[in-house]
């Protein structure tokens, strides 16, 4: 019989904005004096007895990180949570793993729960690998007996048995992460809450982590809640997924559908920008932007941009400086900010008025990953007159076809230059 491992009902989380963390004693005493003794009404400053009251607080100081979240995760399921930065993913994880308390609502669960929001929590620099395995294991909720039982397996998995009695501060960062994940991979809770642990380490190690999670999830005993930016890993691992946007649930369902919804919502936000009102449009006294758009040429059934998709870039602007000798350049950057290319248009003399430009990034040119585009306007092929930074952002999914290798494909670009292999001499065959 399938039953729920976790039930989340009507979950809300409020944070207070402002200088809440940097409170000082003087202000607090002053506030207390004003309120209690002088009887002045002050904007709601949370007092020391901790109120969980939802009403009567100043709305400008509050920020609802989660709004009315409710879902159920069945035992043995791998449940993915996706969303942009600031969508509330981390907050939800913190509530699920009891690090922070909800403002309203309830999370019910059955069985032991372990959360893995980072690898190597509590690792102490001065202690040896061996000592840290026990420390980290205890912190994550394993008993000494359990750790002793799995000790050899943990050391094996980490592949650093030679250094197990060396203080971890002597480890390379790779070794450190290996050891840390090795402990985590041997956790055996009923429910596992996982943050993007896969974003650490080299690609080989990431593969190993993914396999470890898949094994854990495949066993059917362990319920996994998995939060990630890495959509392909969500598609690969999860049975069901949820999309969060600005603290609210957008959709819950099959990972494929949820990822599609996510891409569509991204499209609205990042693929197309139009400024109707010239007063609000970005620009200066020479250039006023009107529109930038990225249109992927998706074929047939395809819903997601992948390495096979040609991308059309289109931009429109108004030139306010008649007679200018202008050239427009497109700068394409990888997500981490490395420039892939800088392609300028031919310079030409423009009169006052509206202009449009376009460019196509061909299929099989960019590698999978996140990219963004900036547009530069140059006068006399010499002087920058305007720079529209990060105006388009998009992500390219992978497509391997018949290639069996699953590791991360290196490089910012993945062009299909033909490589011909010809036989030079046929003597060997005789």
Partner 1 sequence: MIPSSWEITSRTRWPDFYLKEIWQYRELLVRFVRRDFLASHKQTVLGSMWILIQPLLTALIYVVIFQNVVGVSTAGRPGLLFYFGSVILWNFFSESTLAVSYTYGSHAAIFNKVYFPRIITSVSIVSSQLVRLGIQFVIYLVFFAWGLWRDPAVRPNGYLLLLPVVIGVLALMSLGLGLIFATLSVRYRDLQNLLSSLFRIWMFATPVIYPLAIVPARYLDILRFNPVTPLLEVFRYGFLGAGMHGSFYLLYSLAFALAAFVGGIILFNLRDGKAMDIL
Is residue 194 within 8 A of residue 213, CB to CB? The reply is yes
Task: Determine if 385 is a binding residue for partner 1 (CB under 8 A).
Answer: no
- Based on the shown chain and the rule CB under 8 A, indicate whether residue 49 belongs to the binding site for partner 1: yes
Q: Which is nearer to partner 1, 109 or 159 (CB)?
A: 109
Name residues contacting partner 1, limited to 8-47 (CB under 8 A).
15-16, 20-26, 28, 46
* Beta-sheet strands, E only, within 195-335: 223-227, 240-245, 248-253, 272-274, 287-296, 311-319, 324-334
How far is residue 304's CA from residue 162's CA, in Å, rounded to a whole number?
45
Residue 310 vs residues 296, 396, 412: alpha-carbon distances, Å: 6, 11, 16
Q: Are 397 and 309 in contact (CB under 8 A)?
A: no
* Size of interface with partner 1, in residues (CB under 8 A): 54
Q: Of the two residues 20 and 42, which places its CB atom closer to partner 1 in the complex?
A: 20
284 interacts with partner 1 by CB under 8 A: no
Query: Which residue in 33, 42, 70, 101 binds partner 1 (CB under 8 A)?
Result: 101
266 forms part of the interface with partner 1 (CB under 8 A): no
Closest CA to 243 of 235, 253, 11, 75: 253
- What's the closest the beta carbon of residue 148 comes to partner 1, in angstroms? 11
Give the footprint of partner 1 on residues 299-358 (CB under 8 A).
Answer: none
Q: How far is CA 410 from the centre of its chain?
A: 20
Site for partner 1 (CB under 8 A): which residue of 18, 167, 267, 282?
167
User: What angle is formed at CA 345 by the lines to CA 343 and CA 347, rounded to 5 degrees?
Assistant: 135
Angle between helices 203-218 and 173-185 (to 10 degrees): 0
Q: Is 95 in the site for partner 1 (CB under 8 A)?
A: yes
CB atoms within 10 A of CB 306: 19
Give, in degrees to the nearest 5, the angle at Cα 354 between 348 and 357: 60
- Give yes or no for residue 166 binding partner 1 (CB under 8 A): no
Q: C-beta of 192: minimal distance to partner 1 in Å?
A: 12
Interaction residues for partner 1, span 121-140 (CB under 8 A): 121-122, 124, 126-127, 131, 134-135, 138-140
Residues of this chain that interact with partner 1 (CB under 8 A) are: 15-16, 20-26, 28, 46, 48-50, 52, 94-113, 115, 117-118, 121-122, 124, 126-127, 131, 134-135, 138-141, 143-144, 167, 190
């Amino acid at each position: 019989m399938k039953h729920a491992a976790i039930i989340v009902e009507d979950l809300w989380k409020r944070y207070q904005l402002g200088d809440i963390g940097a409170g000082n004693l003087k202000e607090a005493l002053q506030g207390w004096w004003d309120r209690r003794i002088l009887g002045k009404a002050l904007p709601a400053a949370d007092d020391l007895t901790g109120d969980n009251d939802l009403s009567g607080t100043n709305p400008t100081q509050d920020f609802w990180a989660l709004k009315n979240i409710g879902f159920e995760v069945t035992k043995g399921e791998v449940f993915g949570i996706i969303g942009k930065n600031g969508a509330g993913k981390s907050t939800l994880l913190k509530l699920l793993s009891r690090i922070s308390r909800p403002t309203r609502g309830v999370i019910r669960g059955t069985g032991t729960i372990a959360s893995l929001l980072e690898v190597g929590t509590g690792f102490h620099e001065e202690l040896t690998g061996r000592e840290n395995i026990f420390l980290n294991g205890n912190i994550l909720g394993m008993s000494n007996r359990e750790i002793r039982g799995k000790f050899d397996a943990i050391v094996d998995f980490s592949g650093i048995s030679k250094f197990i009695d060396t203080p971890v501060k002597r480890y390379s960062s790779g070794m450190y992460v290996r050891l840390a994940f090795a402990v985590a991979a041997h956790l055996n809770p009923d429910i596992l809450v996982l943050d993007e642990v896969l974003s650490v380490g080299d690609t080989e190690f990431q593969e190993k982590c993914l396999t470890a999670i898949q094994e854990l999830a495949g066993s059917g005993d362990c319920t996994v809640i998995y939060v990630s930016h890495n959509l392909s890993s969500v598609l690969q691992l999860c049975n069901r997924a949820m999309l969060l946007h600005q603290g609210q649930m957008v959709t819950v369902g099959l990972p494929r559908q949820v990822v599609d919804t996510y891409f569509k919502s991204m499209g609205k936000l990042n693929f197309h920008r139009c400024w109707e009102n010239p007063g609000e449009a970005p620009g200066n006294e020479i250039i006023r932007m009107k529109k930038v758009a990225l249109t992927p040429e998706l074929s047939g059934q395809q819903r997601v941009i992948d390495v096979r998709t040609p991308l059309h870039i289109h931009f429109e602007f108004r030139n306010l400086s008649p007679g200018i000798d202008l050239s427009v350049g497109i700068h394409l950057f990888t997500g981490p900010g490395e420039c892939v290319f800088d392609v300028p248009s031919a310079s030409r003399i423009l009169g006052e008025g509206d202009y449009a430009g376009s460019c196509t990034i061909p299929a099989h040119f960019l590698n999978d990953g996140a990219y963004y585009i900036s547009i530069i306007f140059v006068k006399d092929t010499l002087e920058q007159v305007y720079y529209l930074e990060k105006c388009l952002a998009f992500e390219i999914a992978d497509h391997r076809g018949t290639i069996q290798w699953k590791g991360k494909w290196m490089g910012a670009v993945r062009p299909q230059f033909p490589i011909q292999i010809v036989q030079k001499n046929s003597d060997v065959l005789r």
